[in-house]
Amino acid sequence: MTRPDHQPPRADPAPSWSIEPCPPWCVREHREDDHPEDRYHQGEAAQLPVVAGHTDTIPMTATLQAVELTIRQGRHHGHALEWLAIEADDQHSLRLLLTLESARSLTTHLARHLGIDGQR
């Protein structure tokens, strides 16, 4: 859960529960009273306006609408697995959580489908 009062990290000492330094991309402020579920590293959010719809409607294009996607990197404290979260601004219509390996694979396949990898 992202805190509504999120601020970039300061030079404050690390909380006592912190067992590792922040990765260079982490912008999340870690506090002594963070709930264990909130103890994760988080990268700066990128906003991406897209047009998207639902695949359970016929025709699918009938549900197309403007959506703002937020993309950010994360990793739980004490874990090696990093991920990319891709979420719609309304937090209900789209949410993907991909490992970095899966995100790279998705990028490769998107490039192929768009004909920008030189193989189309």
- Cα(30)–Cα(27) distance, integer angstroms: 9
Q: Say what the pTM is.
A: 0.73
> Count of CB atoms within 10 A of residue 77's CB?
17
DSSP state, residue 120: -
Tokens representing 15 are 């909380």
Total residues found in the chain within this entry: 120
Radius of gyration of the chain (CA): 18
Q: How do the domains of the chain map onto residue ranges?
A: 40-114
- Does residue 71 contact residue 86 with C-beta atoms inside 8 Å? yes
| Tens digit of each residue's pLDDT (9 = 90 or more) over 21-71 | 889 999 999 988 988 888 899 999 999 999 988 788 889 889 888 989 999
Which among 81, 82, 61 has a CA at the least distance from the CA of 73? 82
Question: In b/e form, how buried is each residue of 7-33, taking b as 16+ CB within 10 angstroms?
Answer: eeeeeeeeeeeeeeebeeebbbebeee
* Average pLDDT value over all residues in the chain: 84
Percent of the chain exceeding pLDDT 70 equals 85
